[in-house]
């Protein structure tokens, strides 16, 4: 068992509240991704779990045991940092064995553990090489290996892939997920990259300014964001936000923004008094706006005429950056066979069943 629980954990640096009343539960064998923009408190959270920093308030439990006063070395946790440093004069084997030798472990046990980790990581052929003869991805794997051989209760990983180039990062991402399943470890994985969070996390905790904004399975955050911050952070390119006024109608609602009028059928809008026109933001993801020529027909769609500012063919899809009447700018991810060209009008079709509504004053989602 290796379960980590944080209760009301707060950490301040002078007047900066790095982490504020954080409640977090990492289940046994879970890969939990902590994601959020720079400075939101991710590293601070990991450092407190590891015991490198003490919380100003709140409690941390590992396997039900309070960690207050427990030294980092006695927590049985391994931390993998972004800027891992391998010992340049030691070969891969000894880089991985070093920590165990320091613990005065028997050399037969050390050898067994290093070989096992090397096998899991696919670096069995590299054990005699020095770090300078390794690629970035291989070095990264050795750094992971150093953590794995210790067989800790919990792994804390702080942006461990951010030094790698894009292609290698994608590869290592998949590999890490595989390794996680294979060793059945509890992992808290920190990243500021929403794609990494979406693809790796069994569960995502999204933070901003030291506070949890939303937690849940990746698709839950994507489909059902609780506020505009979550809606804009998850998904790439980001969700389009259109400011306008919302009025309740007999079968739903009407959204109006600078000459654009959209009927939203079947929206219940519980608890909303929107008879006069409420200030709202309509959110719609680029992937839910199609070139009208390729859009399926359906009642719950809105047509939008706009001028194409940028046309970016990506191969499997094309990104369109357009400006509609009234100056409204919208991004759409459309069929690659689109005939949209720069400077010309294009007709787009948005799937309104996928549209989100937010209260403009609070940023909170309107259900």
* Residues contributing to the site for ligand ATP (CB under 6 A): 13, 16, 18, 36, 38-44, 192
Shortest reach from residue 311's CB to ligand ATP, in Å: 33
Does the bond joining 237 to the residue before it have cis omega, within 30 degrees of 0? yes
Q: Which partner from the list ligand ATP, Mg ion, none does 41 bind, CB cut-off 5 to 8 Å by kind?
A: ligand ATP
Q: Which is nearer to Mg ion, 20 or 43 (CB)?
A: 43
Measured CA to CA, the distance from residue 271 to residue 268 in angstroms comes to: 9
Q: Which is nearer to Mg ion, 43 or 240 (CB)?
A: 43
Using CB under 5 A as the binding rule, whether residue 44 contacts Mg ion is answered as: no
Shortest reach from residue 153's CB to ligand ATP, in Å: 23
Closest CA to 81 of 141, 160, 10, 24: 160
Closest CA to 76 of 162, 144, 10, 152: 152
Region at 39 (left for phi over 0; alpha for psi -120 to 50; beta for the rest): left
Q: What is the per-residue binding string for Mg ion in 177-206, x denoting contact by CB under 5 A?
A: ------------------------------
Measured CA to CA, the distance from residue 234 to residue 225 in angstroms comes to: 9
Q: Which partner from the list Mg ion, ligand ATP, none does 151 bind, CB cut-off 5 to 8 Å by kind?
A: none
- Between the CA of residue 348 and those of 263, 286, 304, what are the distances in Å? 16, 11, 5
Q: Which is nearer to ligand ATP, 208 or 354 (CB)?
A: 208
Q: Which is nearer to ligand ATP, 115 or 208 (CB)?
A: 208
Q: Which is nearer to ligand ATP, 206 or 308 (CB)?
A: 206
Rg (CA), the chain: 25
Shortest reach from residue 17's CB to Mg ion, in Å: 16
Q: Which is nearer to ligand ATP, 21 or 99 (CB)?
A: 21
Residue with tokens 């009234």: 326
Using CB under 5 A as the binding rule, whether residue 43 contacts Mg ion is answered as: yes
Neighbours of 20 (CB within 10 A): 18
Shortest reach from residue 154's CB to Mg ion, in Å: 18
Closest CA to 65 of 24, 5, 126, 140: 5
Shortest reach from residue 42's CB to ligand ATP, in Å: 3
Residue with tokens 């990983």: 157
Q: Which partner from the list ligand ATP, Mg ion, none does 13 bind, CB cut-off 5 to 8 Å by kind?
A: ligand ATP
Shortest reach from residue 191's CB to Mg ion, in Å: 9
Q: Which partner from the list Mg ion, ligand ATP, none does 191 bind, CB cut-off 5 to 8 Å by kind?
A: none
Per-residue tokens: 21: 């009343």
Using CB under 5 A as the binding rule, whether residue 95 contacts Mg ion is answered as: no
Stretch of 40-48, 99-107, 108-116, 357-365 contacting Mg ion, by CB under 5 A:
40-48
Q: Which is nearer to ligand ATP, 23 or 111 (CB)?
A: 23
- Between the CA of residue 356 and those of 24, 169, 218, 228, 294, what are the distances in Å? 27, 32, 17, 9, 23
Q: Which is nearer to ligand ATP, 13 or 87 (CB)?
A: 13
Shortest reach from residue 166's CB to ligand ATP, in Å: 18
Shortest reach from residue 105's CB to ligand ATP, in Å: 33
Tell me which long-range contacts 259-268 makes (C-beta under 8 A, separation of at least 24).
Answer: 259/325, 259/326, 260/304, 260/324, 260/325, 260/326, 260/328, 262/302, 262/352, 264/352, 264/355, 264/357, 265/299, 265/300, 265/352, 266/300, 267/357, 268/367
Q: Which partner from the list Mg ion, ligand ATP, none does 16 bind, CB cut-off 5 to 8 Å by kind?
A: ligand ATP
Stretch of 17-25, 43-51, 95-103, 161-169 contacting Mg ion, by CB under 5 A:
43-51
Q: Which partner from the list ligand ATP, Mg ion, none does 320 bind, CB cut-off 5 to 8 Å by kind?
A: none
Provide the greatest CA pair distance for the chain: 77
β partners of residue 247:
254
Host H or E run for residue 140:
helix 136-148
Residues near Mg ion (CB under 5 A) are 43
């Amino acid at each position: 068992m290796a379960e980590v629980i944080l209760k009301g954990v707060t950490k301040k640096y002078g007047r900066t509240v790095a982490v504020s009343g954080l409640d977090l539960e990492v289940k046994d064998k879970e890969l939990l991704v902590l994601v959020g923009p720079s400075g939101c408190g991710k590293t601070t959270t990991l450092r407190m779990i590891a015991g490198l920093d003490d919380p100003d308030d709140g409690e941390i439990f590992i396997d039900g045991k309070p960690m207050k006063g427990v030294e980092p070395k006695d927590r049985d946790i391994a931390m993998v940092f972004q800027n891992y440093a391998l010992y340049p004069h030691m070969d891969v084997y000894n880089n991985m064995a070093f920590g165990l030798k320091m613990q005065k472990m028997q050399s037969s046990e050390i050898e067994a553990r290093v070989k096992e980790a090397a096998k899991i990581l696919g670096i069995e052929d590299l054990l005699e090489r020095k770090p300078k003869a390794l690629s970035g991805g291989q070095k990264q794997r050795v750094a992971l290996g150093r953590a794995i051989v210790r067989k800790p209760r919990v792994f804390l990983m702080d942006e461990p892939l951010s030094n790698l180039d894009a292609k290698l990062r994608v590869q290592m991402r998949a590999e890490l997920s595989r390794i996680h399943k294979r060793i059945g470890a509890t992992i808290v994985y920190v990243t500021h990259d929403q794609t990494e969070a979406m693809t790796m996390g069994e569960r995502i905790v999204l933070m901003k300014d030291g506070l949890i904004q939303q937690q849940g399975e990746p698709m839950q955050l994507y489909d059902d964001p609780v506020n505009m911050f979550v809606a804009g952070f998850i998904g790439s390119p980001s969700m389009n936000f259109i400011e306008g006024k919302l009025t309740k109608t007999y079968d739903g609602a009407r959204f109006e923004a600078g000459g654009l009028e959209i009927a939203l059928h079947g929206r219940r809008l519980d608890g909303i008094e929107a008879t006069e026109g409420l200030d709202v933001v309509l959110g719609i993801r680029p992937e839910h706006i199609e070139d009208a020529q390729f859009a399926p027909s359906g009642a719950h769609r809105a047509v939008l005429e706009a001028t194409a500012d940028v046309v970016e063919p990506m191969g499997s899809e094309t990104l369109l950056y357009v400006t509609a009447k009234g100056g409204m700018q919208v991004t759409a991810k459309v069929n690659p066979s689109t005939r949209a060209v720069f400077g010309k009008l294009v007709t787009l079709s948005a799937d309104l069943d996928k549209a989100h509504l937010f209260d403009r004053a609070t940023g909170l989602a309107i259900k």
